C-alpha cells in the first residue's frame, strides 16, 4: 500500500507571488548537509593515501595516488547513482518529505561509521560501510531535495524559481566553504575521528532543521502507479529522450570537474602552498570554489549574462555550451602547471587558483543551469526522476574517471608476492620474521630476480633486490645524488642526465631517470621481463628532504598540538623515524606500482577529450527544442 501524506500538510502551492514559507528551512538544511558531505569528501583522498594505513594496530601499506583516485571517483560515482532509487522511492511510494527524513537518518549513521575507524575492528571495513551508507543517504535525497524546492512554487510565483535555485546553490557553497577549510585542519592536527565526526554532527543538525519545517512545506503526494503511466507515456518518453543526450555532455564535465577533489589535490602536494601570506593544506585549496560560487552567482546573474545577451540571445543550452569550452581551458592550464612540476619546478598554488577561476565559471554555466533546465523540462509527476537522471550524469562522469584511473594502474609485483606469502604463513611466523625472500618473475627463489622483503611488526617495511641488481641501481643513485649536491640539493634536469649513461640492470635494460616532483625522482628499468610498463619494472625513488627553518609560533599554532596527528600516530606504531635535522636523501626500492600515464600526459588526455566533446555539443544545442512544465 502506498504511503499517503497527512491531510495536515498542504499539497498544492498557495496563490501567492511571494517567496514560499518553507524555503528558509530547505536552504538551512542544504547548507548543513553540504557542510557534512563536502567536509568528508574534501579529506577522502588525503586520508586514503596518508592515514588509512596507520589506523589499525598493525600498519599496512600506503595506498597509491592512482588507487586512491579510483576509489574516490568510485564513491562519488555511486553517490550520484543512488538518486535513481531515491527518486523512485519518493515519486512512487513515500513522497519527497518522508524519503528525505528516512534516508537522512541512514546518512548520519554513515558519518558515525567513518568516525569509528581505528576504534574497533578493521578500519577498511568501517570505511566501506560508512561510504556505502553515505552513498545511499546523500545520493537518495539529492533528487528529492532539488525537486522539493521546485514544488514550493506555483504559477503566481514561478518567476522566483530561477532566483531560488541560485540561492539553493548559494547555500550549498556556503556550507562547503567552511567545511573545506575546517575539516582538513581537523584531520591534520586532531586526526580522522574528529575530522569525520564533526561533519556527522552537522548532518544531524541538517536533519533536525528539515524536520522543523514540516508544517511550512508543500507536500506533493507520491504519484503511485500514475508515475509509471506518465513515465511511459509518449510525452514522458519524449521528454527523457530529449534530455539524455544533454546529460552525456554534462557527464564529461563532471568527469573533469570532480577531479578538483582528487587529482588536483594530489597535484597541489607538489606546489608551493604559501599564498597571500598563508600556508595552506593541499585539500584546503578546494575552498576557493565555494567562495567563487558566492561571488559568481550575482556577478553572472546581473552582469555577465546581460552583457553576453546584448550580442546574442543567451539560452540555457548556450550557457552550457560556453561552460564546456571553459572546462577544457581550465584543464589546459592544469596540464601546463603539471609540465612545470614534471620539470622539477615548484610553482605557486596561485596558478591552480587561476584554474579554479575558470572551472568554477564553467560550473555556474553548466551545473546550476542544467539543474534548473532539467526541472523545467520534466513533466509534473516525473520531476524527481528527471532530477535523478540529471544526477546520473555525475555518476557516468565519475565512472569514466574511475575506469581511467583503474586502467592506468600498474600492479606492484612486490606487494602481490608479499600478500601471497602472508596467506601461507602462520601469524606467529609473520610477527617474528624480519626478512623474507619473495619469488621474482620466474616464480622461483634463489635466482637473479628475487625480491627481498624487510618486515617490521608483521608489515612490509621495504623491498630490496639481490646484490647485483641493487648495486646497479645504487651506483646510478649515487650519481644523481652527487649531481644534486653540486646544485644546492636540487635534482638535475632530465635533459642533463639523459646524455649520461646511468648503467644497466642485470637483464641489460637501460636505467632511466625521471623527475616526479621538485624533491623526488625515479630510476627505473624494464626489469626481468624486459617489458616496460609492467608489474615487474624495477627501480628506486630518491626523495630529497630539507628540514624547515625554525620559526616563532604564531597565535594559530597555539590552537593545535605541537605535532600533526599523523606523526604522533606513526611514532606510536614505530613505522616512521623522527624528523631529520639535516638534508637527507631517502632511497626506496620498488617493483611495479607506477602508472601508465604520469604527469602532464594524464591531464592532457582529459583536456583534448573535453575540447572534442565541446565541439560536438554545438550542433546538438542548435537542434534541441525546449518544452517547459511548471506546477499549476
Integer Cα distance of 384 and 533 in angstroms: 46
| 339-358 pLDDT tens trace | 999 988 899 999 999 999 99
Determine contact, residues 592/535, Cβ cutoff 8 Å.
Answer: yes
**Domains of the chain, with CATH numbers?**
23-409+601-623 (1.20.1250.20), 413-548+566-594 (no CATH)
Of 462, 384, 486, the residue nearest 98 (C-alpha): 384
Whole-number pLDDT of residue 65:
87
Of 145, 153, 18, 149, the residue nearest 631 (C-alpha): 153
Determine contact, residues 354/334, Cβ cutoff 8 Å.
Answer: no
| 266-278 pLDDT tens trace | 999 999 999 888 8
Q: How many CB atoms lie within 10 A of CB 632?
A: 9
> Could you give the count of Cα atoms lying within 13 Å of 588 in the half-sphere of its Cβ?
14
DSSP 517: E
Q: Which residues of the chain have pLDDT under 70?
A: 1-8, 11-17, 19, 58-60, 155, 157-160, 162, 169, 223, 225-232, 380-381, 384, 499-500, 546-559, 575-583, 628-632
Whole-number pLDDT of residue 459:
75
Residues in the chain: 632
Cβ neighbors of 247 (< 8 A, separation 6 or more) are 389, 390, 392, 393, 396
Which contacts (CB < 8 Å, 24+ apart) does range 229-236 have?
230/379, 230/380, 230/381, 230/382, 231/382, 231/385, 235/379, 236/379, 236/382
Of 290, 337, 59, the residue nearest 182 (C-alpha): 290
Whole-number pLDDT of residue 252:
96
The three three-digit cell numbers of residue 349, written as one number: 598554488
Query: What is the SS3 assignment for 378?
Result: coil
Whole-number pLDDT of residue 60:
66
Cβ neighbors of 432 (< 8 A, separation 6 or more) are none
Q: What distances in angstroms separate CA 505 from CA 320, 458, 610, one per listed residue?
A: 53, 30, 41
Alpha-carbon Rg of the chain, whole angstroms? 27
Cβ neighbors of 584 (< 8 A, separation 6 or more) are 544, 545
Chain-centre distance for alpha carbon 108: 21
Read out DSSP for 5-18?
A: --TTS--S--S-SS
Query: What is the SS3 assignment for 368?
Result: helix
Whole-number pLDDT of residue 576:
59
Whole-number pLDDT of residue 23:
78
Whole-number pLDDT of residue 632:
45
Cβ neighbors of 625 (< 8 A, separation 6 or more) are 242
**Alpha carbon distance, N-terminus to C-terminus of the chain:** 27
Q: What distances in angstroms separate CA 490 from CA 98, 338, 484, 517, one per listed residue?
A: 61, 18, 5, 11
Amino acid at each position: 500500500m502506498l504511503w499517503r501524506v497527512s491531510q495536515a500538510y498542504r499539497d498544492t502551492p498557495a496563490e501567492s507571488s511571494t517567496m514560499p514559507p518553507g524555503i528558509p528551512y530547505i536552504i538551512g538544511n542544504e547548507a548543513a548537509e553540504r557542510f557534512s558531505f563536502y567536509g568528508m569528501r574534501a579529506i577522502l583522498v588525503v586520508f586514503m593515501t596518508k592515514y588509512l594505513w596507520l589506523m589499525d594496530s598493525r600498519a599496512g601499506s600506503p595506498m597509491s595516488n592512482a588507487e586512491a583516485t579510483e576509489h574516490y571517483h568510485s564513491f562519488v560515482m555511486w553517490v550520484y547513482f543512488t538518486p535513481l532509487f531515491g527518486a523512485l522511492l519518493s515519486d512512487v511510494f513515500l513522497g519527497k518529505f518522508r524519503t528525505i527524513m528516512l534516508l537522512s537518518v541512514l546518512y548520519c549513521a554513515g558519518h558515525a561509521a567513518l568516525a569509528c575507524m581505528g576504534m574497533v575492528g578493521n578500519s577498511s571495513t568501517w570505511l566501506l560501510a560508512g561510504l556505502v551508507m553515505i552513498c545511499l543517504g546523500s545520493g537518495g535525497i539529492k533528487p528529492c531535495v532539488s525537486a522539493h524546492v521546485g514544488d514550493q512554487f506555483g504559477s503566481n510565483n514561478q518567476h522566483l524559481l530561477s532566483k531560488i535555485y541560485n540561492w539553493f546553490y548559494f547555500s550549498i557553497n556556503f556550507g562547503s566553504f567552511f567545511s573545506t577549510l575546517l575539516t582538513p585542519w581537523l584531520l591534520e592536527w586532531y586526526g580522522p575521528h574528529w575530522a569525520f565526526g564533526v561533519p556527522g554532527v552537522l548532518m544531524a543538525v541538517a536533519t533536525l532543521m528539515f524536520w522543523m519545517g514540516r508544517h511550512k512545506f508543500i507536500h506533493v503526494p507520491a504519484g503511485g502507479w500514475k508515475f509509471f503511466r506518465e513515465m511511459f507515456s509518449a510525452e514522458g518518453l519524449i521528454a527523457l529522450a530529449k534530455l539524455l543526450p544533454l546529460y552525456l555532455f554534462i557527464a564529461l564535465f563532471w568527469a573533469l570537474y570532480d577531479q578538483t577533489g582528487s587529482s588536483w589535490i594530489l597535484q597541489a602536494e607538489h606546489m608551493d602552498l604559501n599564498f597571500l601570506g598563508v600556508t595552506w593544506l593541499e585539500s584546503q585549496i578546494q575552498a576557493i570554489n565555494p567562495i567563487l560560487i558566492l561571488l559568481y552567482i550575482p556577478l553572472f546573474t546581473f552582469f555577465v549574462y546581460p552583457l553576453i545577451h546584448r550580442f546574442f540571445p543567451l539560452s540555457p543550452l548556450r550557457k552550457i555550451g560556453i561552460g564546456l569550452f571553459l572546462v577544457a581551458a581550465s584543464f589546459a592550464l592544469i596540464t601546463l602547471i603539471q609540465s612545470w612540476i614534471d620539470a622539477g619546478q615548484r610553482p605557486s598554488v596561485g596558478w591552480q587558483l587561476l584554474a579554479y577561476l575558470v572551472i568554477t565559471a564553467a560550473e555556474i554555466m553548466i551545473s546550476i543551469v542544467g539543474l534548473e533546465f532539467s526541472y523545467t523540462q520534466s513533466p509534473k509527476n516525473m520531476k524527481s526522476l528527471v532530477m535523478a537522471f540529471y544526477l546520473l550524469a555525475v555518476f557516468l562522469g565519475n565512472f569514466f574517471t574511475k575506469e581511467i584511473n583503474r586502467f592506468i594502474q600498474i600492479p606492484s609485483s612486490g606487494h602481490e608476492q608479499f600478500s601471497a606469502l602472508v596467506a601461507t604463513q602462520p601469524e606467529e611466523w609473520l610477527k617474528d620474521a624480519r626478512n623474507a625472500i619473495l619469488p621474482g618473475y620466474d616464480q622461483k627463489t634463489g635466482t637473479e630476480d628475487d625480491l627481498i622483503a624487510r618486515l617490521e611488526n608483521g608489515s612490509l617495511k621495504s623491498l630490496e633486490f639481490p646484490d647485483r641488481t641493487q648495486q646497479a641501481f645504487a651506483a646510478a643513485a649515487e650519481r644523481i645524488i652527487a649531481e644534486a649536491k653540486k646544485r644546492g640539493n636540487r635534482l638535475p634536469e632530465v635533459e642533463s642526465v639523459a646524455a649520461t649513461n646511468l648503467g644497466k640492470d642485470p637483464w641489460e635494460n637501460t636505467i632511466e631517470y625521471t623527475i616526479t616532483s621538485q624533491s623526488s625522482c625515479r630510476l627505473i628499468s624494464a626489469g626481468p621481463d624486459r617489458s616496460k610498463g609492467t608489474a615487474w619494472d624495477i627501480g628506486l625513488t630518491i626523495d630529497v628532504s630539507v628540514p624547515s627553518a625554525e620559526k616563532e609560533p604564531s597565535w594559530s599554532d597555539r590552537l593545535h598540538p605541537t605535532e600533526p596527528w599523523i606523526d604522533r600516530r606513526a611514532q606510536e606504531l614505530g613505522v616512521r623515524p623522527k624528523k631529520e635535522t639535516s638534508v637527507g636523501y631517502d632511497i626506496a626500492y620498488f617493483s611495479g606500482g607506477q602508472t601508465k600515464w604520469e604527469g602532464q600526459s594524464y591531464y592532457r588526455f582529459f583536456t583534448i577529450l573535453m575540447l572534442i566533446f565541446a565541439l560536438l555539443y554545438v550542433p546538438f544545442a542548435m537542434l534541441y527544442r525546449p518544452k517547459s512544465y511548471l506546477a499549476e
